[in-house]
Amino acid sequence: MPIIYLSPSTQEWNPYITGSGSEEYNMNLLADHMIPYLNSNAIAYRRNTPDMTAASSIAQANQGYYDFYLALHSNASGQGEASPVRGIIAFYYPGSAEGKRGAELIAANLRKIYPLPDKVRTQATTSLGEVRQPHFPSVLVEIGYHDNYADAMWVEGHMDSIAQQLVRALTEFFGIPFIYPSGPQTGTVAVNYGTLNLRSYPSPQGTVIANIPNGASVTVYGEWQGWYTVRYDDQLGYAAAAYIDV
């Protein structure tokens, strides 16, 4: 199963022009909205905390292994209150082909919902630590300008759709189907003999990552073509829905 490091902004000093809170507050709220979609798509994650910094987030991520590092931010033009500048930028490190691919997928999916799609773009950079320093493909996405009233209002009013599009981009990056959340629900494994395979992909050809015994309790997050996305102990993957009673 893929695993990402999720790093919402820790910049509590950047206020939204609407008065709705800070960049840190709103990007953590966006991360909260992403969690059900990550679970239903069998994408494991580790997340930073608001008391951390970008530097400590990078350091924590680099102590482990992740398939992707995603930093969530909103932008500011520096032109003062009521800035006219709008748009979304997905930053990636120029030496990372996979980082660039991830940025392009994120931008393509956000264009579908942002009111000014021509202002959604990707950009290579060497100046941002969260794309330069992680040991794995990384993208820092600046989702609108929080000193522009229209952008700030759009972010606040579209948290769920932004979260969904970000996870859709991740499923495309990892080559797995997008599954809309239908849980969490508690399920019980019901097999006539042996164990139920937990797989890395919703297919009989998916790699077996765990064996779930008969009668075991699992958490079900979503369903796709006869497969459930489930968590068993600390493993997240796909299991045949026919053998789980929900």
pLDDT at 147 over 80: yes
- Digit-coded pLDDT (tens) for 166-191: 999 999 999 999 999 997 999 999 99
- Say what the pLDDT of residue 83 is: 82
- Digit-coded pLDDT (tens) for 37-77: 999 999 999 999 999 999 999 999 999 999 999 999 999 99
- Say what the pLDDT of residue 59 is: 98
Residues of the chain with CATH 2.30.30.40: 181-245
Give mean pLDDT, residues 210-236.
97
The chain-wide mean pLDDT, for the chain, equals: 96
Query: Which band of pLDDT confidence, cut at 50, 70 and 90, is reported for residue 138?
Result: very high
pLDDT at 137 over 70: yes
pLDDT at 13 over 70: yes
Give mean pLDDT, residues 214-240.
97
Give mean pLDDT, residues 190-213.
96
Q: How much is the pTM? A: 0.96
- Digit-coded pLDDT (tens) for 83-101: 899 999 999 999 999 999 9
Architecture of domain 3-174: 3-Layer(aba) Sandwich (3.40)
- Say what the pLDDT of residue 61 is: 98
| % of the chain beyond a pLDDT of 90 | 96
pLDDT at 79 over 80: no
Distances 63 to 5, 48, 56, 59 between C-alpha atoms, Å:
11, 13, 11, 6
Residues of the chain with CATH 3.40.630.40: 3-174
CATH topology of domain 181-245: SH3 type barrels. (2.30.30)
- Say what the pLDDT of residue 187 is: 97
